[in-house]
Amino acid sequence: MSNVIQVLEKMGSDATLQNNDAIQTLLASTELETEMTQAIASEDVTSLAHQLDVCLYLVCGVFPAEDDDESEEKEDEDDSTEETNSRVIGF
């Protein structure tokens, strides 16, 4: 698999590999499997992804952790409410 990645990387970074003849020359000099060579030459992304067993759809999510300060503030508010209620009751 690393050979395929190296070939694709070279194709993406080398400006001289922008025509079919240059790509065919590059692919002929590599030791890739015939199916992969054909998929790259024909620009068949689906076939290449299937051969490489690539997961095309990947979803990531980040959930922020609960802030300890908020829970402390809430506890402080609850304490002050209880103190206020006890003062009112005490009068």
pTM above threshold 0.75: no
Q: Has residue 86 got a pLDDT over 60?
A: no
Residue 41 near residue 9 (C-beta atoms within 8 A)? no
Confidence band of 15 (pLDDT split at 50, 70, 90): confident
In 3-state terms the chain splits into helix, strand, coil percentages (rounded to 5) of 65, 0, 35
Confidence band of 91 (pLDDT split at 50, 70, 90): very low
Compute CA 13 distance to the chain's CA centroid, rounded to the nearest angstrom: 21
DSSP 39-72: HHHTT-HHHHHHHHT----------PPPPHHHHH
Residue 40 near residue 27 (C-beta atoms within 8 A)? yes
Break the chain into its structural domains and give their ranges. Answer: 2-52
The 10s digit of each residue's pLDDT in 38-84 is 998 888 988 888 888 887 677 888 888 887 666 556 665 555 555 55
